[in-house]
């Protein structure tokens, strides 16, 4: 028995806005009876304001599918087309209190039906069936494309094959595609980790390099030099060569060369990049 919230059970037992709107301004369909889930969403839109005035659904599916469809119709009413277009599957699940992980694909189905209905409205009202955006089908049991899997991974921060199955149903049939799903996970999450990794010194723009060096000078170098009445000013950055001007008591100090190498250069190599060298400007 699934652990459903009271809100899910309420929308399952007492679904709102069941049926189809005659002469709807937008009709979106997703899924198929062959795959076990199907949803049709119709919307009535005020053409002057773009506000969705009514929404109804017809679905073939489980309690989660019915509840997700029901609450979706409530969520879109009163919203403009632009506002409704921003609703995600996570928004639908959150509105229900949550959904079991294994049933998250029902909220995805609602999001896709809404996307198709909005497209239908923008194209003049002809019914639109949500289609996979990629020709490469990964899961043939449920006709799930690579693009759909990638979209779900990115939108919901999925980490495992089971996560993907819960959100898209991919891998939930014969299981032969699980290896391919893992490869997609590795590719997408690997790219995310790379994009979130801090830039190396070589990858920084000149402005970013100057800011980074200035931060280290301000936090690690100047306080030390200030104690002896001196300081250091950044003059130039050329490749990995940093030119610095010693000022105050440090400018004519006999130990200036040591200050450049053992204080400033050491700090920049430790905090910015090991390849940096410091020269007197």
- Catalytic residues, which ones? 35, 106
Answer whether 243's CB lies under 8 Å from 261's CB. no
Instruction: Tell me how far CA of residue 72 lies from CA of 29, 166, 178, 186, 206, in angstroms.
Output: 14, 19, 31, 32, 49
Burial 149-168 (b: 16+ CB within 10 A, else e): bbbbbeebebeebebbbbbb
CA 60 to chain CA mean position, Å: 30
The per-residue DSSP string of 33-47 comes to: TTTTEEEEEEEEEET
Answer whether 232's CB lies under 8 Å from 221's CB. yes
The strand pair at 241-248 and 277-280 is best described as parallel
Answer whether 37's CB lies under 8 Å from 122's CB. no
Q: How open is the CA angle 217-223-229, to the nearest 5 degrees?
A: 115
Q: Rounded distance, CA 218 to CA 258, Å?
A: 19
Q: Enumerate the H helices of 123-231 as residue ranges.
A: 146-156, 161-168, 178-196, 206-216, 222-226
Helix axes 161-168, 146-156, angle to 10 degrees: 110
The strand pair at 144-145 and 51-60 is best described as unpaired
- Strand-by-strand arrangement of the 26-32 sheet: 51-60, 37-46, 26-32, 128-129
């Amino acid at each position: 028995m699934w652990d459903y919230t009271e809100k899910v059970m309420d929308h399952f037992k007492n679904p709102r806005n069941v049926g189809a709107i005659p002469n709807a301004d937008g009709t979106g369909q997703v899924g198929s009876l062959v795959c076990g889930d199907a949803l049709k969403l119709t919307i009535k839109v005020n053409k002057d304001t773009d506000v969705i005035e009514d929404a109804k659904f017809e679905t073939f599916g489980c309690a989660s599918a019915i509840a997700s469809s029901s609450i979706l119709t409530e969520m879109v009413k009163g919203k403009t087309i632009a506002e409704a277009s921003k609703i995600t599957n996570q928004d639908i699940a959150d509105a229900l209190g949550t959904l079991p992980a294994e049933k998250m694909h029902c909220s995805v189905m609602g999001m896709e039906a809404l996307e198709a209905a909005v497209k239908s409205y923008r194209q003049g009202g002809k019914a639109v069936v949500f289609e996979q955006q990629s020709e490469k089908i990964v899961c043939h049991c449920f006709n799930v494309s690579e693009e759909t899997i990638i979209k779900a991974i990115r939108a919901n921060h999925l980490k495992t094959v089971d996560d993907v199955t819960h959100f898209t149903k991919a891998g939930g049939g014969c299981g032969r595609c699980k290896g391919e799903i893992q490869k997609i996970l590795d590719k997408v999450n690997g790219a995310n980790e790379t994009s979130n990794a801090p830039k190396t010194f070589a990858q920084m723009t000149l402005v970013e390099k100057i800011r980074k060096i200035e931060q280290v000078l301000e936090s690690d170098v100047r306080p030390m030099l200030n104690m002896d009445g001196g300081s250091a000013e950044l003059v130039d950055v050329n490749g990995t060569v940093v030119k610095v001007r010693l000022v105050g008591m440090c400018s004519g100090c006999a130990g200036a060369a040591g200050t450049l190498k053992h204080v400033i250069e050491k700090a920049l190599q430790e905090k910015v990049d090991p390849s940096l060298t410091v020269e007197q400007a």
